[in-house]
Every structure is written in structure tokens, then in C-alpha cells.
A and B are shown apart, each in its own frame.
Chain A
């Protein structure tokens, strides 16, 4: 985590900050969801509390904290309390592994009568060499939270919801895992940072062994993997249990699914987990297919030089560059988060057999086809034909 006390504490504070960023995005997303659904259904939505109804979020948070603690008599107390805490973990750990912006270079400086630095701070919780596999592995642990909640609360609706949720998550994990193989074939790396680094400049690819460039398109993964992108998007909708795949919570049949018996802050923690997974999914989509934190046609070095030419010191310039690129990343993520909301209020829910058929008989074969086609094209294009 670092070599001296300052570096270690800054790295830890950074992880906590990224986690809190995820937590505080949840009320905002709930607001977007409520106002967005109102927009789509031609009504107003919450608009009484504060400007645009924004302070509604604050009121909700207070309300969640002042609700009565409720535990059903026949539930397993330990599992009942463990489930919401477990729900927070996978999303937080996975989100911290994704680079949110360019690394910050800090020059050596003097402080409290000591020499510090030079440091390089990554704009992410931690860089894991096997990025993709790690994120996949950690997010597959999310099924435990649902199973614990479903079985621990000793309620038939909860149990059915948990079973549906886990069966659905594992069915779509196959399509998810397979569509990522196409990305690996293009980038040949597990690391998110290297993937992002490969997506700068204009669209460049090998055409039968010749390096070719198309000037007016950015070098984004979506142009190499259009089918994979669609499959991945559909699979993450199922993984996050969002409509049209929200069978686990189908309120018309199962009351509220696995969190039927939960109320107050504990239910809110499940929501943090769910929205956290949406955030991770959007960040993955952006990192794989839409250039990560890069602004099209502008390299981070150019932004850095611009700030230096404006008379900033090297450390400040690096910091400002990271902030600008972080804004670019966030703008891209917000587009995907909006798609999540948009789809939820546009498409109806699947029936259970339709859901299983889609996952196993449609998406899995298509993901396989995507892998094979990508492999053939990569083989043909990258081999030397001289």
C-alpha cells in the first residue's frame, strides 16, 4: 500500500472515499429513478421537498435511520443481520478495483520538517493484476447476501425470491463471462489500466497485417466488439436483478422477494448493494467499450501540458488532469446509469421460463458465436501476410 506513513494513509483514505462515493450515489440514483420514472410516465415525481425535490434524499436517509429495529421471531438472528452487511461488500470491493481516472504524480516536497515523496497515486482503490477475473469472482459472491437474507428471515416469499435470484444470477454469469472473452482477445490483458491505455487516439487496428487508422473515430472497444457489448449489457441487467429481469423482487408475486422482512437501514443496505452493482456494471461497460476515463482524441499528456502551460506546478497539473478525466469517466457512467433507469420504466418483466430460455438458449450461443468470430477475425488480421 505504500512505503511511508503518508502514502499508506492517503491510499487508505482513497479507498474509503471511493466506497463513500458509491454509498452517496445511491440516494442520488434513487432520486434520478423517481424523477426519471415520472418523466417517462408523464407525471411530476417528488418535487415538494427542496429544489426539484432534491432534499427528499436527506429526509429519506433520516427516515431510514429512525425506523424501528425489527427481527422476525423465527428468523436466524445472526444470518438476518449478516445478510445486509454481506450485501455491501462485493460491490464495494469490486468498484475499488476499477480505475476512475489517470494516476496522479506528486513531486517530492517538504512538510513538517521532512522530505516526502515523490509519489504516484492511482485514482482507484487498488490495482489488481488480474482485474477482470477478480471483479468477476468478487461480484459472483453477491449471491450469498441474497441466499442469507432469503433463508435467514424464515419467510416463504424471501426464500423463493432468493432461489430465483441465485438461479438467475448463475444463468447469466455464463453469458457475462463469455462476452468478456471477446474483450480479452482484443486487448490481451486482464488489467483494467492497460485496457484503458490501449483505447487512446483515433481508431487503429491491424488490417491483414497492415496497421490501419480511421481518423474520425476514437479508439474504443465498442467498434471491435459491438455484439459483445450488447450481450454484456443484457447480462449485467440480469446480474443486478434490474427490470426486465427483476424476478427476485417481483412485487406482484413475491411481495418484495428476498428482503420482504427487512425494513429501515437494513433494507437500505440491500439497495446500496444493488445500486453499487449497477455502478460496477456501468464502470465495466465504460472501461471495456467506451475508452475508460479518456476523452476522445485527447491524451492525458496533452491535458497535463495545457495545465503546465497555464502556469500550474507539476503536482497541481497532474491533479487537475486527473480531475478532468474523472469528470469524463463520470459523464460516461451517468449515461449508462440512465439507461438502467430508462429500461426499467420502459420494458415489462419477463416470465420465468422466458428468462431461463433467453439466458441459456439465446445469449449463451450468441456469446459463443461472438467469441469464435472475434478469434477468427483477430487471427486473420494480426497474422503477417507477407
Chain B
């Protein structure tokens, strides 16, 4: 629990530091009257067409979901890698290797299938 206090303290300090910088800039910067043209979104000098929140085809979606699945599989390899040495020392090296071997085989099959089924193609 004593690991959390400094992290929290630093986060609060950094956030305050950022707000302080923004405050400084607002004090020192020149002030001009706001105008509709100036405050409009930047579109390379053209008139702004529609708002930016229009519908965009979501090809990212599939990539993102597959990322989450693979990310979960990878996070499970961390405790495995951590305990690998302990298992070898206890004489169960082959056991722990094949335990992850099965898991990895499923992982590799999944990745292979995703690539073969062109789910990861970008078009």
C-alpha cells in the first residue's frame, strides 16, 4: 500500500504543474477579440464543411478487438515467465514448458487463422 501513496502524490503534482503552465500562458499571452472566422476549425483555409463527428467506416474495430484478445493471452505469459525458473529448479521444467506450449499452440493457431482468413488485411 505504501507503493500507492507516492504514485498518487506525483500524479497530483504533475496535473497541477500542467494546469499551472496553462494558467501562465493565459496570463502572459496577448488577448484579442474572438471572431467567428478565427475560432472556426482549421481546414486548410477552406470553409468548414459539417462537424468532425461524422460517421467514419470502422475498420479499426476488428483490429482493436483482436488486440484485446491477444493482449489477454500475452498478460498470462508474464506470471509464467516469472515462475519458469522456480519450476526448473524444482525439477518440473518440462512440465511448465509444455503447459505453456499447449497455450502457445492455441495462440499460434489463432494468429495463423487470423492472417490466413485475411482478418488483419488493411483495405
Contacts and interface: CB of A to CB of B under 8 A. Distances in A.
B15 interface: yes
B14 A92 contact: yes
Given A173-B71, A185-B81, A372-B104, A67 B94 contact: no
B41 A154 contact: yes
A156 B52 contact: yes
A360 B60 CA distance: 13
Contacts, number: 203
Given A156-B52, A158-B52, A265 B22 contact: yes
A171 B59 CA distance: 13
Contacts of B13: 15-16, 19
Interface string B49-92: 00111001000100110010011001101100111111011010
Contacts of B102: none
A77 B49 CA distance: 21
Contacts of B25: 64-67, 69, 264-266
B74 A181 contact: yes
A133 interface: yes
Nearest to B94: A379
Given A93-B11, A261-B42, A368-B104, A356 B120 contact: yes
Please report whether the interface of chain A is mostly helix, strand, loop or mixed according to DSSP.
Answer: helix
B39 A184 contact: no
Residue of B77, B97, B123 with highest tally of chain A CB at under 10 A: B77
B15 to A, nearest CB: 6
B19 interface: yes
Interface residues of B, number: 69
A360 B71 contact: no
Given A65-B25, A171-B67, A174-B67, A11 B6 contact: yes
A320 B111 CA distance: 51
Please report whether the interface of chain B is mostly helix, strand, loop or mixed according to DSSP.
Answer: helix
B44 to A, nearest CB: 7
A261 B84 contact: no
A371 B10 contact: no
A255 B42 contact: yes
Interface in B30-54: 30-32, 34, 36, 39-44, 51-53
Given A153-B41, A174-B67, 16 more contacts: A1-B2, A11-B6, A88-B18, A125-B10, A128-B7, A154-B53, A159-B52, A159-B53, A159-B56, A166-B60, A171-B63, A177-B74, A188-B81, A375-B100, A379-B93, A379-B97
26 contacts: A12-B6, A19-B14, A65-B25, A69-B31, A88-B14, A88-B18, A126-B3, A129-B3, A153-B41, A156-B41, A156-B43, A158-B52, A163-B60, A170-B63, A174-B70, A180-B78, A181-B74, A181-B81, A185-B84, A255-B42, A260-B42, A360-B114, A360-B115, A368-B108, A371-B77, A379-B93
